[in-house]
Structure 1
Amino acid sequence: MSTDVPIPALGESVTEATVGEWLKQPGDAVELDEPIVSLETDKVAIEVNAPVAGVLAEQLAQEGDEVEVGAIIARLDEGGTASAKVAAPTASTPEPDREDKTEIAKAETMGKGDMATTDQPLSPAVTRLLAEHNLDPNGIKGTGKGGRLLKEDVQRAISSGSAKKSGGDAAKTSAPAPAPAAATVAGPGRNEERKRISRLRKTIASRLKEAQNTAAMLTTFNDVDMTAVMEARNRYKETFEKKHGVRLGFMSFFTKACALALKDVPSVNAMIDGDEIVYRDYADIGIAVSSPGGLVVPILKDADKLTFAETEKSIGDFGRRARDGELKLEELQGGTFTISNGGVFGSLLSTPILNTPQSGVLGMHRIEDRPVAINGEVVIRPMMYLALSYDHRLIDGREAVTFLVRVKEAIEDPTRLVLDL
């Protein structure tokens, strides 16, 4: 019995997606709810799961194709038996050339070891990933059925740094990418490579340009002495982690400080909607995090009502799932204000761009010891530059500076965060 696999609903206002990577190939056995293909939308990458158990009979779209919600992307044979080799290629599943077959065959020899199941073949996606990163599957534990090595297992090992390099012939060979980029030669030893822009990157570029074109953006700066926060963190981090199961970081302090400042300066938490200004009595703060496809901004709903522990757990969870491509579309929608921490990458100073239609974004930067004058004496303190970019159509300079000063005061005297001052 044949079962169609449609493109599921992708969220509000999302009507189409791009086929990112086929996780299963024709002839592969598929379990119920097992991912068979990944899709790229305007906001996040998602996976399409198998509606039934069986065998993938046909792929109806190639990697890179645009597909609409509701379109049939694959067909499954319920109760079918997996074949030892991939089905004959069709127009939608081009056959690799002889050189590619040789490279894939070499890479597949890497999949025989203690931890990777030897009686089950590695999928092409896993094979390519192992070859691209020159990894030994023997050191990666498979979590698939019967211990089969999955793509997620390899990605997890790469992210954690636990993956081991291969020492065999495969180390000298890299398998071709699913959609090879066009390479051109600019001269002896000067190669160029062209890669198709992902849907997510296109959307990021469009939104950033839209912010520049529509908002009257201006940035104001201040610096903050991190001494008090660092001392509080060092004093309580072990107790905090034992009690709540999460490490105490700086982001929870800044998130709470911004939530407090948004109450004092409501225009920074507002937005322009046509001829009206929309003010909010809640703080849904976006936390910019990195993902393989680019920067994404999951939303911390009701951040002003969360505890430090709840804030840290949510931010840590956002970061992990962004790296694994597991964020949900609804988690990326909305938001009244954004915090971006370029300091984790070593940034000293920047002018962040608004995440429209929001009216403000706070940029954090690296902490470094600098000489400052305190009570008439020059001392060395751990200092951080803060940058607030805002829409000058709605927020006056006085309000922007007041907001930034409120954040500075709360960070330099964290007791304010507890007393709501």
Structure 2
Amino acid sequence: MSVAFEAPGVVLHHGDCIEVMRTLPDASVDAVVTDPPYGLEFMGKDWDGADGFRRSLNEADAGRESVFGRTSRTSPEYRTESKARAGMQKGGISAADGMPSFLGGLNPKCLACGKWQRGSNPCSCDAPEFTNERLPRLHAFQEWCEAWSREALRVLRPGGFILAFGGSRTWHRLAAAIEDAGFEIRDSIAWLYGSGFPKHPNVLKPAFEPIVVGRKPMIGTLVANQTRYRTGALNIDANRTEVADTQLAEKYASVQNAGARSNTVYGSDERDRAGSEPHPGGRWPTNVLVDGSSADDLGMNTARYFPTFRYEPKAGSDERPSVDGVLHPTVKPLELMRWLVRLVTPAEGTILEPFAGSGTTLEAALLEGFNVIGIERATEYLPLIEARLSKPLQVAMFGDWEDAS
């Protein structure tokens, strides 16, 4: 573990995120905004597969190029203590060697006859018994997510938020892990995008990614927590959806005022109508975010209600650094990350990104005037981050954030 890059407002650590976070002081950051691996073994990348999760969970594996370089994979240090990973759940044990399989059950072996599910001489049992090979992989992923979330919780100030991207197939494991680590799950944000393509002829076309919204428990009331730590509330006014159309703004105002005059579950005629007046900054931010192509597909009115960001199947060259032919495969839109860091970080606060990738979150934080700590395990991505952060950046000017709510 070492500091790979440092400049005003940013420190980038090279190493495993759990190990690096253990060196950070308690209650030392204001927000965690991160795009962790999804547990889908994306493009065969080690950092998104069970081998990477296992190495991160076992201190004896830290720094090794491969845990399979051991003399024996049955060594006690190879396993963690979870039941699924320790081989105590029958449904997740490979019949081949008694070890958990993380291959997604591509071709499990029948426990009754010992033949494979597919092949030249497959199992033909009347009652075949195949192992659930996905189970230990998913348990390993969730256990790993809980481990790094627990460290993120420790370094966050009370009331600090975590925003974590997840995959549509595995985000439930991520959300449960974040909650089990001690966070309150406050919401989920859906990021919709029109680009992308199905990875198999028998699957749905991907069009959204969920973002888990969690908060470290506060100390006392919201006001007391904010007074002491400046955390606990979302920065609503910095992320409103602008209403540029004058006629639409007038319609928006009339609808809001009509609601204020109605007896509803939210109040009655006696309620303070000032809260129903249209805000000059625009509409209240939503938990649905869309890209430009999705907005076009959904209709003209979409941008009136939801924050809209530019997105391409692969980020443009200005958002996708390349060094010696190396590119990162999962680059988020910079505008999207700027919106997210603004939402959860107090003015001049410090953000932690445990999975820096190509550095999008780090750049977004600097552009918004925040300090940021990044962590990246993959050596080949460090030059991408340095290239991104070494270019001239136009930092945004802060407004008055005292009324965040």
TM-score when scaled to structure 1? 0.26
Relative contact order higher in (CA < 8 Å, ≥ 6 apart): 2
Please say which structure displays the higher CA radius of gyration.
1
Q: Which has the higher strand share?
A: 1
